[in-house]
Amino acid sequence: MENPFDDTYYMKKALLEAEDAFEKGEIPVGAIVVINDRIIARAHNLTELLNDVTAHAEMQAITAAANFLGGKYLTNCTLYVTLEPCQMCAGALYWSQISKIVYGARDKERGCIALETKLHPKTKMVGGVLAEESSALLKRFFIERRNLN
């Protein structure tokens, strides 16, 4: 029987967000925030629609989760995001004191691992959950929508 509350389950929800971004012509990255097995924020990249480089999926998810919780710290929360966070998003997650970050695909060029962005000591990060699906969606976007192949 499938455990409805494992990392793969939640990453599938983040992937649905990424697919929404794809349909809007946005680089397809999705994110959700979970606390106590409850999804409290869903977001996807909207940098094109909003004309705003800060509108990454994670940034919106952090803001939405804090709004839901009524406080700015995301203690006991987990962020699921289909692509490894960038410096900006990892920097925001540092301030949020989030407990856990789970990402899908690696971003070896602009991701927080390669660029050594500092995470909060309270934060654990794991990657590779539905990495192939997350990566395939991004590749399809750049081939179909940006003619990069």
Interface contacts to a second copy, rule CB under 8 A: 47-48, 51-54, 59, 62-63, 66-67, 70-73, 86-92, 94-96, 115-118
Q: Which is nearer to a second copy, 50 or 126 (CB)?
A: 50
Q: Is 56 annotated as belonging to a binding site?
A: yes
Q: Is 89 annotated as belonging to a binding site?
A: yes
Q: Contact, 32 vs 7, CB < 8 A? A: no
CA trace torsion 38, 44, 50, 51 (10° rounding): 140
Q: Which is nearer to a second copy, 12 or 120 (CB)?
A: 120
Minimum distance, C-beta of residue 91 to a second copy, in the bound complex (Å): 3
Minimum distance, C-beta of residue 132 to a second copy, in the bound complex (Å): 26
Catalytic positions are 58
Minimum distance, C-beta of residue 141 to a second copy, in the bound complex (Å): 18
Residue 40, SS3? strand
Q: Tell me the residue type at 140.
A: R
Question: How far, CA to CA in Å, does 50 sit from each of 70, 126, 135?
Answer: 25, 30, 24
Q: Say how far apart CA 85 and CA 103 lie, in whole Å.
A: 8
- Binding positions for Zn(2+): 56, 86, 89
